[in-house]
Amino acid sequence: MNTKTLVAAAVGLGLVTLSACGSSSGSSPGSGGDGDSKTVTLVSHNSWAVSKDVLADFEKQSGLQVKVLEDGDAGAAVNKAVLTKDNPQGDVFFGVDNTLLSRALDNGLFQPYEAKGADTVRAAYRADATGHRVTPVDTGDICVNYDKAYFSERDLAPPRTFDDLIEPAYKDLLVTENASTSSPGLGFLLGTAAQYGDDGWQDYWKKLTDNGVKVVDSWESAYNEEFSGSAGGKKAGGDRPLVVSYASSPPVEVVYADPQPKTAPTGVVDGTCFRQIEYAGLLSNAENAEGGKALLDFLIGKRFQEDMPLNMFVYPVVEGARVPEVFAQHGPQAKDPETMDPAKIADHRDDWVKAWTSLVLR
């Protein structure tokens, strides 16, 4: 989730969440490009965030300096990492999720490493358990969000399910992301495929298109420009009260509002959620493999896991990691999200995206 952009829009200030100390957006390939064994480079999508003190303690204890190279939306970042795998930009890649995992694994993006503490990761979130090419780091739910004020002012009940979104009452209200360029857009597509099956999802999207769904290229555009319920959308004149985002988006609107409201101004359509899991891995040709291993150990350590919710607005994956009360109150995980076997995603994803593009972007 692009929490940095959302936080900036929510408070009208610079980024409140913090990327790694000494982070760099112009690092040359490898561990800073100089082969320095004391520098480890993390390549990520642009939602990476960690508290300064948490990262500083890791750097002090490990003797490493962490550099961060943020590389856009998750889909674009994964594609670039695959293209540069023989001469990677860094040592560890964070942010490949279950919708794109097979693309990374099939292209040999990662080398095996079983992170210390991997046995504390909840079994439901593990993937490639025997190959140990990726380490689960966080989880969240891609769901439709709604603008509470819009529906209250019109005495209109917000939708509750995928089926509701194609009803005339919600015509021209939904904005979603392009499934070929955005990870939440792809997750939403997979959620409909899981709900309606191989034979039914295209018919559903025909109805959704007829009901006026709007498609934009990125989550940033959808949430911060088109969605009327976000702080950014209000400023940008957004007029769509339904948006594909995350179950954890509402607490962002609470935490970074001044003053903080007692209830979130946005809600979640629980019947539209798809479970997302994000992974990190040691890049196959990493210059500082040992530093990369230490960084992976850190990412599933309890301190980082408990630091994530209010920085990246995702849930931890290790047993016993606590979630802040404000996060649990306003951004609980979906009770019964759609899921899909990674093997099925691998077998059908590209064909589904191609068919979706022809159907929706015609």
C-alpha 122: how far from chain center:
19
What local confidence, expressed as pLDDT, does residue 75 receive? 76
**Domain-located, residue 66:** yes
Q: Both 302 and 265 in a single domain? A: no
Burial, 309: exposed, middle or buried (Cβ in 10 Å; 0-12, 13-18, 19+)? Answer: buried
CA distance 178 to 54: 35
How far, in Å, are 51, 185, 236, 252 from residue 260 at the CA level?
A: 21, 29, 21, 10
| Domain match, 207 and 335 both | yes
Q: Is the peptide bond before 259 cis (omega within 30 degrees of 0)?
A: yes
Examine residue 361 and state whether it is found in any structural domain, yes or no. Answer: no
* pLDDT of the residue at 12: 35
What is the C-alpha separation between 256 and 332, in angstroms, rounded? 18
Residue 81 lies in a domain: yes
* CB crowding 195-205: b at 16 or more within 10 Å, else e: bbeeeebbebb
Residue 1, pLDDT score: 52
Residue 228: CATH number of its domain? 3.40.190.10
Residue 227 inside a domain? The answer is: yes
| The pLDDT of residue 130 | 72
State how far the Cα of 167 lies from the Cα of 169, in Å rounded to an integer: 5
For residue 322, what are the domain limits?
Answer: 3-139+276-328
Furthest-apart CA atoms within the chain: distance in Å: 62
Q: CA 303, 113, 181, 124 torsion: positive or negative?
A: negative
**Domain match, 23 and 153 both:** no
Which pair of structure tokens corresponds to residue 336?
Answer: 């019964």
Question: Cα–Cα distance between 60 and 55 in angstroms, integer?
Answer: 9
At residue 352, the pLDDT reads 97
| pLDDT reported for residue 85 | 93
Contact status, residue 121 vs residue 105, Cβ threshold 8 Å: no
The answer on 96 and 35 residing in a single domain is: yes
What was the pLDDT predicted at 113?
97
Do residues 233 and 147 share a domain? yes
196 and 335, same structural domain? yes
Q: Same structural domain for residues 320 and 343?
A: no
Q: How confident is the model at residue 79, as a pLDDT?
A: 86
Residues 217 and 107 in one domain: no
Q: pTM to 2 decimals?
A: 0.83
Task: Name the token pair of 181.
Answer: 């360029």
Cα-based distances in Å from 329 to 162, 172, 248, 264, 312: 24, 30, 10, 10, 16
> Tens place of pLDDT for every residue, the chain, 362 residues?
554 444 444 433 222 332 333 333 333 334 444 456 899 999 998 889 999 999 999 999 999 999 999 877 777 788 899 999 999 999 999 999 998 898 899 999 999 999 999 999 999 898 876 789 999 999 999 999 999 999 999 999 999 999 999 999 999 999 999 999 888 999 999 999 999 999 999 999 999 999 999 999 989 899 999 999 999 999 999 999 999 999 999 999 999 898 999 999 999 999 999 999 999 999 999 999 999 999 999 999 999 999 999 999 899 999 999 999 988 899 899 999 999 988 899 999 999 999 999 999 98
**What span, in angstroms and rounded, lies between the C-alpha atoms of 80 and 30?**
14
Query: Is there a domain that residue 362 lies in?
Result: no
d(CA 295, CA 155): 50
The DSSP annotation for 174-220 comes to: EEEE-TTT-HHHHHHHHHHHHHH-TTTHHHHHHHHHHTT-EEES-HH
Same-domain pairing of 199 and 322: no
Q: Which two tokens stand for residue 286?
A: 């990493």
Runs of H (alpha helix) within the chain: 3-11, 52-62, 74-83, 101-106, 148-153, 183-196, 201-210, 219-221, 231-236, 249-255, 289-299, 302-307, 309-312, 325-330, 342-360
Domain count, the chain: 2
Tokens 């674009």 found at: 76
pLDDT at residue 355 in the model: 97
